[in-house]
Amino acid sequence: MSTTTKSRPMATGGLLFAATIMVLAGLFQFFQGIIGVAKDEIFVATPNYLFKFNTTTWGWIHLVLGLFVMVIGFFVFTKAPWARGIAIFLVALQAFSNFFFLPYYPLWALTLVALDIFIIWALTVAPGRTPSDDGYIGTGADDTYQAAQRATRGM
């Protein structure tokens, strides 16, 4: 048995966990954005920071990005074929935005960056759809192996 087939249950569970964390991280980003927009005094701006924006600007960035991540997280649950690619892109953007947000709220930003890294890992490692899912036939090596196994059993 190859290492890809051994890690499949963990990766599949990781995909569901990643979708859950995407929805939650998007919600956290959304609330972080609301705080940035509503109350400028909560986030303290540091002097001489290269990516220094007004905290209201950071609030809008986090608010919009959080909404997008949350919505795409719901589509990852439905196993929409296009959702994974968009999710990886949005979560990478979310990680970068949190990285640039480090001087304002470091512990929270590092926590979200760590979650984003896990989400990207789970989205890239989890197996694709199987032939039993709505008649979809994947193109990966595992799918080819499984198709060959079914063909030999039918003989």
Q: What's the pLDDT tens digit per position in 42-57? A: 555 556 655 566 677 7
pLDDT at 69: 93
Q: Do residues 22 and 91 touch, judged by C-beta distance below 8 A?
A: yes
pLDDT at 91: 93
pLDDT at 68: 94
**Res. 74 pLDDT band, cuts 50 70 90:** very high
How far is the C-alpha of 67 from the C-alpha of 49, rounded, in Å?
27
Q: Sign of the CA dihedral 31, 33, 39, 40?
A: positive
| Burial grade of 48 (CB within 10 A; 0-12, 13-18, 19 or more) | exposed
Query: 89: which 2 tokens?
Result: 């892109």
**Res. 144 pLDDT band, cuts 50 70 90:** low
pLDDT digits (tens, 9 = 90+) for 79-92: 888 899 999 999 99
pLDDT at 71: 93
Question: How many residues make up the chain in this entry?
Answer: 155
pLDDT at 25: 87
Q: What letter would DSSP give residue 46?
A: P
How far is the C-alpha of 55 from the C-alpha of 75, rounded, in Å?
30
